[in-house]
Amino acid sequence: MISVKKRHFLYQLGGLTFYSIANAARAGITPPQSLGPFYPSRFPLDSDSDLTFIEGEKGSAAGQITNLYGQVFYIDGSPVSGAKIEIWQCDAYGAYHHPRDGGGIDPNFQGYGKTIADDEGRYRFKTIKPVAYPGRAPHIHLRVLTSSKELTTQIYVQGNPENQNDFLLNSIADKRARRSLVISFEKDPIEDSNELVAFFNPVLG
């Protein structure tokens, strides 16, 4: 028997298909962004798609839990099956789990995760809503890798006033391309919980 959470996950992913294909061709290629200085120098032993829980630890990550869903497309609207997708971000205290940033503050936050897109290009991560740190608006780094293509970009929080002054976001001259990286983080409309949901559908050239 499929659990309620599993049904919800499948429902969310299934709902992406019609919405996403209709929008992928119109969206244009997702603009690339910097890999940044805090891409892992060493991958954590636990590198799965749930960044809020570390195997062997009893606690869970601080911050507002967010389920990030998406679907990866080519510019012609066809899904990218089997793509490797990575995300990384700072913890709820604004620190990356990287030696150059002190190794992080929250011991229960994984900091980095990876997954493989399914046959329809769909993916899902469980993480936290990103927070700001000095000089940057809240963001999540995302990287898509296939056998022939690679995209590294960043996801920003819709409505966050710090977006207006973020140098990297505003380095994208095209307004539509810039807006494509800014997504909503909203309360889950299906499950009765405090978790948020966010959708990001990268388009590869």
Q: Based on the structure, what is the number of domains in the chain?
A: 1
> How much is the CA Rg of the chain, to the nearest whole Å?
16
The pLDDT, as a whole number, for residue 26 is 54
Please write the tens of the pLDDT for every residue from 153-201.
999 999 999 999 999 999 999 999 999 999 999 998 777 788 999 999 9
* Predicted confidence band of residue 27 (pLDDT cuts 50, 70, 90): low
The CATH number assigned to the domain holding 128 equals: 2.60.130.10
Amino acid letter at 120? E
Which of 38-52, 110-124, 171-185 is least confident? 38-52
- Burial profile 152-164: b = 16 or more Cβ within 10 angstroms, e = fewer: bbbbbbeebeebe
Which of 9-23, 41-55, 77-91 is least confident? 9-23
Residue 19 host element (H or E): helix 4-27
Q: Is the pLDDT of residue 15 over 90?
A: no
Closest CA to 198 of 164, 163, 156: 156
What's the whole-number average pLDDT of the chain? 88
Full domain range(s) for residue 175: 4-204
